[in-house]
């Protein structure tokens, strides 16, 4: 890795690679962005965890009409009027990593984000005021992005809440929806992976202890596959 590249520059490069392709699926881009992001971060030595929940971004002065909601009134993912309102992102060691926000303004007419106060059918919906545009991507501690149930962010703020708020009898439906969506997104992402991989930076240097632990895990894995024993530590 180029020593002149700091962590923020490195993250910018990762995001640029993941965002270099843009198909629309499931009424938005988040599931595919999450799948490609997980592939990229795993390739770079990280352990991303896919997360489903609610997200809301305040783009204009009206706290209702200008709330770009991927959630119900609780700010969790919910089923509203028979339709799922949710968002998908990645957790990396307590950080929220989301490569989709930059699409919300660019593709607003294709993405199913609507305030719970208005018609979710997209018919006759008032236009969102984009006084502030969302960031291209998010990579910051989850604690700094936690929202409050029933509230709306201040202008330019973005909130996340992991999880669904649905009746107990719908839990199986939700779990199946998440499982099937992840599988479909991975199938969609695989043909695009080569182009994304080509743009990725080198992995960040690891602390010595972490690098050694990873080396030992790799050795153990190879030994297990070959039926051999793990050599003693030097």
Question: 30-43 and 7-18 helices cross at what angle (nearest 10)?
Answer: 130
In a domain, 144, yes or no: yes
Contacts of 209 (CB under 8 A, 6+ apart): none
Q: Which of 33, 152, 6, 10 is nearest to 89 (CA)?
A: 33
Same domain for 178 and 225? no
Rounded-to-integer distance, Cα 39 and Cα 185, Å: 11
Flag residues of the chain having pLDDT under 70.
Answer: 1-5, 23-27, 108-126, 206-216, 223-234
Longest dimension (CA), the chain: 70
Same domain for 181 and 71? yes
Per-residue confidence (pLDDT) for residue 148, from 0 to 100: 80
Same domain for 116 and 56? yes
Q: What are the phi and psi torsion angles at 83 (to 5°)?
A: -120, 140
- Residue 179: CA count within 13 A, CB half-sphere: 6
Same domain for 125 and 215? no
Per-residue confidence (pLDDT) for residue 221, from 0 to 100: 73
Query: Helix, strand, or coil here: 221?
Result: helix
Per-residue confidence (pLDDT) for residue 115, from 0 to 100: 41
Same domain for 81 and 150? yes
Q: What is the total count of domains within the chain?
A: 2
Same domain for 226 and 116? no
What CATH number corresponds to the domain at position 30? Answer: 3.10.550
pTM: 0.80
Same domain for 111 and 219? no
Same domain for 198 and 216? no
Q: Return the structure tokens found at 106.
A: 């660019």
Boundaries of domain holding 228 = 207-234
Per-residue confidence (pLDDT) for residue 211, from 0 to 100: 57
In a domain, 16, yes or no: yes
Q: Which helix (H) or strand (E) holds 184?
A: helix 171-189
Per-residue confidence (pLDDT) for residue 120, from 0 to 100: 37
In a domain, 2, yes or no: no
Neighbours of 178 (CB within 10 A): 19
Same domain for 224 and 197? no
In a domain, 1, yes or no: no
In a domain, 126, yes or no: yes
Percent of the chain with pLDDT over 70: 78
pLDDT digits (tens, 9 = 90+) for 131-159: 999 999 999 999 999 988 778 899 999 99
Per-residue confidence (pLDDT) for residue 114, from 0 to 100: 45
Same domain for 106 and 161? yes
Rounded-to-integer distance, Cα 150 and Cα 163, Å: 15
Tell me how long the chain is. Answer: 234
Per-residue confidence (pLDDT) for residue 95, from 0 to 100: 97
Same domain for 24 and 119? yes
């Amino acid at each position: 890795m180029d020593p002149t590249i700091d962590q923020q520059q490195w993250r910018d490069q990762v995001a640029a690679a993941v965002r270099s392709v843009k198909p629309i699926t499931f009424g938005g881009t988040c599931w595919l962005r999450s799948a490609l992001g997980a592939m990229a971060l795993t390739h770079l030595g990280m352990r991303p965890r896919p997360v489903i929940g609610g997200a809301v971004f305040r783009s204009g002065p009206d706290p209702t009409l200008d709330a770009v909601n991927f959630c119900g009134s609780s700010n969790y993912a919910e089923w509203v009027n028979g339709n799922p309102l949710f968002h998908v992102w990645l957790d990396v060691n307590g950080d929220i990593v989301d490569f989709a926000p930059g699409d919300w303004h660019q593709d607003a007419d294709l993405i199913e984000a609507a305030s719970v106060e208005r018609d979710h059918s997209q018919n006759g919906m008032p236009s969102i005021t984009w006084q502030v545009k969302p960031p291209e991507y998010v990579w910051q501690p989850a604690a700094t992005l936690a929202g409050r149930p029933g509230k709306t962010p201040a202008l330019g703020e973005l909130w996340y809440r992991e999880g669904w708020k649905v009746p107990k009898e719908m839990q199986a439906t939700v779990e199946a929806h998440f499982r099937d969506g992840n599988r479909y997104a991975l199938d969609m992402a695989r043909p695009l992976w080569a182009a994304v991989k080509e743009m990725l930076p080198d992995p960040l240097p690891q602390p010595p202890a972490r690098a050694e632990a990873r080396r030992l895990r790799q050795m153990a894995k190879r030994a297990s596959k070959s039926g051999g024993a793990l050599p003693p530590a030097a």
